[in-house]
Amino acid sequence: MRILVPGGAGFIGSHTCLALLEKGYEITVIDSYINSHKKSLQRVLDIVKRNNRVKNISIDIEIADIRDEKAVEKLFIRYKDLGNPIKAVIHFAGRKSVQESVLDPLLYWDVNVNGSINLLRVMDKYNCRTIVFSSSATIYGFSNSLPLKENSEIKPINPYGRTKVAIEQILNDTYNNQTDKWKIANLRYFNPIGAHSSGIIGESPIGIPNNIFPYITQVAAGILDQLSIFGQDWPTLDGTCVRDYIHVMDLAEGHIAALEYLNNFEKKLVNLNLGTGLGTSVLELIDTFEKVNNVKISKNFAGRRIGDSCKVVADNCLALSCLNWSPKRDLEKMCLDGWKWQILNPRGYD
Ligand code: UD1
């Protein structure tokens, strides 16, 4: 079964491509490489070849933006003509920085929303109506009671989050049309961290990371001087913010579980939280990282970061019950695997 993976060269995309290939799916990736690295998919292939002792495995890669309708259509035509049509899409393509979205909201609406509309239009034209969409817990905003359920209030507080909500709404309207039968899973990610246990693929942020985990690994490696902890006066046990960190391979496997779940239906729309359901504070994350890896993280306390929530933790019961999936890798494993990736690749893919 051939799957199209827009944005498949990025952090979560590349780990999902690996999981797909290991389960025997054929994949085609379309990626602009604007915020990802050419080497990631080559390394995915290296891992699959090594683990499965296979030689002739490949990923068809198209370097293009999903707003480019002709480029997307070309892929659907190619596989239709080969008698191996694209059967489903796992859609990661889009911009993902909250800060950048505030500075350039039009870019975010154009790439994320127009890109998705373009993709859906081409899918519809070629009778491919199964899509797993990369949404985010950021859509819940911060006025909710915890843990966050799929029916908690949707109240994004930045342009990035609003584009994710808009795409979910477009998918909802697409699903509700009377003529065609769509199968749609909106996966709301919590905080993906870690890396594949081989240390061969991982997160490779361009420039100084905004997210805490790559920041920690770069401080531990001596690339960055010190981690600033944003706030020590939050109403939590130790005063630092709480998040639901999930191993990127558990998240990747969640995508395949969602795809296989959709295949049980003629028509389906489902929103699912992909998190562990466990809250970890910033200090707990740092402590665990230091302990399991036997390293020291130089740190200081800074003021709260604008737009941060105190606690963001998933209620993942729906995903657990629907998908026959559960996160298997604990915080220690996330820290071990993320550090292995950092040590083996001090400058990421560069
Ligand atoms: C951020 C985004 C979210 C996105 C997610 C992707 C914001 C407001 N939210 O979530 O939309 O889906 O990344 O993973 O940007 N922290 C520090 N020092 C740092 C960096 C972070 O103390 O240098 C703290 C933050 O205050 C937060 C926690 O670490 O409490 C996690 O931060 P981060 O990794 O940026 O993720 P989120 O803010 O949860």
* Cβ-contact 188, 274 below 8 angstroms: yes
98 in ligand 1 pocket by Cβ < 6 Å?
yes
Identified catalytic residue from 25, 79, 108, 160: 160
**Residue 92: its pLDDT value, please?**
98
What residues are paired with 186 via a beta bridge? 133, 271
Q: Is 160 one of the annotated active-site residues of the chain?
A: yes
Tell me what pLDDT residue 341 has.
Answer: 98
Written out in words, the top-level CATH class of the domain with range 2-344 is alpha beta
Q: In whole angstroms, what is the distance from residue 149 CA to residue 162 CA?
A: 18
Ligand 1 mean position, distance from CA 208 (Å): 13
Give the mean pLDDT of 214-222: 98
Phi, psi of 55 (to 5 degrees): -105, -45
pTM above 0.95, yes or no: yes
Q: How far is the CA of 83 from the centre of ligand 1 (A)?
A: 44
Q: What percent of the chain has pLDDT over 70?
A: 100
Residue 257: its pLDDT value, please?
Answer: 98
- The gap from C-alpha 234 to its chain's centroid, in whole angstroms, comes to 27
97 CB within 6 A, ligand 1: no
Mean pLDDT computed over every residue of the chain: 96
Q: Ligand 1: distance of its center to the CA of 10 in Å? A: 18
> Given pLDDT bands bounded at 50, 70 and 90, which one contains residue 88?
very high
Please report the pLDDT score of residue 305 as a whole number: 93
Query: What's the pLDDT at 51?
Result: 86
pLDDT in tens, 189-210: 999 999 999 999 999 998 999 9
Which tokens hold the place of 177?
A: 């049309």
Band of the pLDDT at 7, cuts 50, 70, 90? very high
**pLDDT tens sequence across 54-76:** 778 899 999 999 999 999 999 99
For residue 54, the model assigns a pLDDT of 74
pLDDT at 53: 72
Write out the H or E segment, with its range, that includes residue 106.
Answer: helix 105-108
Confidence of residue 118 (pLDDT cuts 50, 70, 90): very high
pLDDT classification of 120: cutoffs 50, 70, 90: very high
Domain ranges of the chain: 2-344
Which ligand 1 atom lies nearest to the CA of residue 193? Answer: 14
Beta-strand relationship, 242-243 and 311-312: parallel
Nearest CA to ligand 1 atom 21: 212
- Mention every residue, 6+ apart, whose C-beta is less than 8 A from residue 247: 192, 193, 194, 327, 328, 329, 333, 334, 337
pLDDT at 145: 85
